[in-house]
Structure formats: structure tokens, C-alpha cells
Amino acid sequence: MLDGNKVLFSGMQATGNLTLGNYLGALKNWVELSTQYMCFYSVVDMHSITVRQDPAELRKRARRLMAIYIAAGIDPEKACLYYQSHVTGHAELAWILNCFTYMGELNRMTQFKDKSAKHADNINAGLFTYPVLMAADILLYQADVVPVGIDQKQHLELTRDLAIRFNNIYGDVFTVPEAYIPKVGAKIMSLQDPTKKMSKSDENPNASIYLMDDADTVARKCKRAVTDSEGIIAYREEQPGVSNLLDIYSACVGKTPEEAVKEFEGQGYGALKTAVAESVNAILTPLQTRVAEIEKDKDWLDQRIKENAEKATYYSTKTLRKVQKKVGFPVRPR
């Protein structure tokens, strides 16, 4: 709770280009949730440097992500949209929480194991304590709910454990947050391997539809999407490719997959793919237009970024000062 409002926190990394899966599985929900909670949506650039980044590229993508948040329909005058690196409290609280986190706990994190295997030449301490920075993000704003994908659930459990541990020692300092995992229907799979999640880091560009793909590219990728030799449009486990196309279509037009199956009765995969591409483009084309408008109005965007960083600093500092006092840091003379 902050100022009597229920608080929601979430963040996305600006590494890679956002996919349709990020939009349908997360961002679309964020827009809806932004009318129900006091929301903090961060571009978590400090998390991004746990993997080596090209600086100019990271900066560019971070700004693009900010524009996408707004273009998707999150009102920057209501929700707090900000860069994690603009608010110093994240690093400060992360340090303190590091001192309350056990090596054993971090060793158990499956994402750390996966990422260390993937970046064997750069297993840095930041990668190891990544979940602690994430806990700091959430706890700084006394978040009640945190929408995350299933892959982040373990990090959220750790966040809760840390909050409870800290509260047990020092009294009620942190709100213990709840994970908010959206229903499975919105999970979009790769177009080339429908047993795998659609990912912004997939090396095969045909596997993912990117939010900034133009209409022809979307049509081409849909046409090339892997299906099967059954020849029947059905929504079932044995047909993951076709089911994924039905998931995409139904999420885009706001129907259930079962309704979509009825709609395509007696039709072939070609017709389905065409309809999927059209439904996707009906969302992406206007989104891209808004992104371009927002990016063009540089001063306006800069002003929103500045105001929101100040707002995030205000709320995070409240929590941080309380924590610093609890652990025994000297009070700042006024």
C-alpha cells in the first residue's frame, strides 16, 4: 500500500526486440491492470548489464521500450514509467538485501543456472545476485502484486522470503508481495518450434513476431509458421503449431480459441495463417504509429521520463530511509 492505494510493480528488460508474446502475455495485461492499481512499470536496465551489452544499443532499446509502454496504452501521467537506473534506491536496497540473502538460496535459482550455462565466459556476481536486485525493485515500492511470467515465479518466492525474514527481525517494514501469473491462454509459442516459448532472444528471426515488424513481414512469418500434416484446424495438444496460431488469433481478436476453431471450420491452414496475420497487423500497425509519434515528440517524452523518475524516487526513498534506520545506519542530519 502507498497513500492508501494497492500497489503493483513490474519490469521488463530492454534487451532484444519485444515480441508479440511479450505484448499478448504481459503488456496487454499491464494496460488493463494500470486502471486498477497504483502501478510502477520499470525498464530494468540495471538487470540488463548482467549480460554484456552494447551501450548505444541498450540506450536506444530502453527508450523504445518506454515508448512502447505508452503506445500500448499505459498512461504515463497515472502509472509510473521509469528507468531503474534513474532511481538510486534500487542499488542501495539491493545491497542491504544482499546481506540478508544466503548463497544457498541464490544457488538454487534455475534462471541463474540456465544463464550461467548460456554465458559460461561471463558468470559475474551481478548475474548471481540478479534476484536480489529484483526483490529490491519490488519491495522499495511496497508492492502488493507483481505480474510476472511463470519463469520469474522462483524470484518472487525469494522476494517474499526476504521480506518476511526482514520483517521478522525488524518489525513490519515491507509489504509481502503476491505473484500475479496471467492465465495460460496468453502464452505464445515460437512459430518455428511451437513447443518452445516465443522469445526475443531466439536466433531464428522467423520464430518470433516482433512488435516493430511491418505488415508484410508479419504475413510472411505467419505463412511460414510450422503446422502439421493433420490438415484439420483443431485446438489440441497433438497440434501445437495450429493451436498456437489459434491462440494468437483469439488473443488478438478477443475470442476464445474454441470460438476461433468454429470460425475456421472446414478451412485450410492457409486461410488460418492469413487471418492470423491480419489480426496481428490490426494490433501492430496502430501500435507502431503511436510509437513513432511518441518518439518524435522528444521533449514530451523527456518530460514524462523526468517526472516519473522523481515520483519513483519519492516513494522509494520513503522505504529506503526506513530500512536504513532499521539496520542501524546513522540518521542523516537535516
User: Where in 265-304 is the site for ligand TRP (CB under 6 A)?
Assistant: none
* DSSP string computed for 266-302: T--HHHHHHHHHHHHHHHHHHHHHHHHHHHH-HHHHH
Q: Pick one of 7, 8, 11, 81: the residue that binds ligand TRP (CB under 6 A).
A: 11
Number of residues in contact with ligand TRP, rule: CB under 6 A?
A: 12
Q: How far is the CB of 8 from ligand TRP (least distance, A)?
A: 10
Residue 223 known to be catalytic: no
* Residue 221 appears among annotated catalytic residues: no
Angstrom distance (rounded) from CA 24 to CA 285: 15
The verdict on 261 binding ligand TRP (CB under 6 A) reads no
88 CB-side CA count, 13 A: 2
- Determine the interface stretch with ligand TRP among 28-36, 130-138, 162-170, 326-334 (rule: CB under 6 A): 130-138
Closer CB to ligand TRP, 141 or 210, in the complex: 141
Of the candidate residues 25, 68, 93, 137, the single one contacting ligand TRP (CB under 6 A) = 137
CB of 183 to ligand TRP, least distance (A): 18
* Cα 51 to Cα 122: distance, rounded to the nearest angstrom: 8
Using CB under 6 A as the binding rule, whether residue 152 contacts ligand TRP is answered as yes
Please indicate whether residue 255 is annotated as part of the active site.
no
C-beta closer to ligand TRP: residue 40 or 249:
40
C-alpha 10: how far from chain center: 7
Question: Helix H segments across the chain?
Answer: 20-22, 28-33, 45-48, 55-71, 89-98, 103-107, 110-118, 125-140, 153-170, 215-223, 240-253, 257-263, 269-296, 298-327
Catalytic site residues? 115, 197, 200
Binding site for ligand TRP (CB under 6 A): 9-11, 13, 44, 47, 134, 137-138, 146, 148, 152
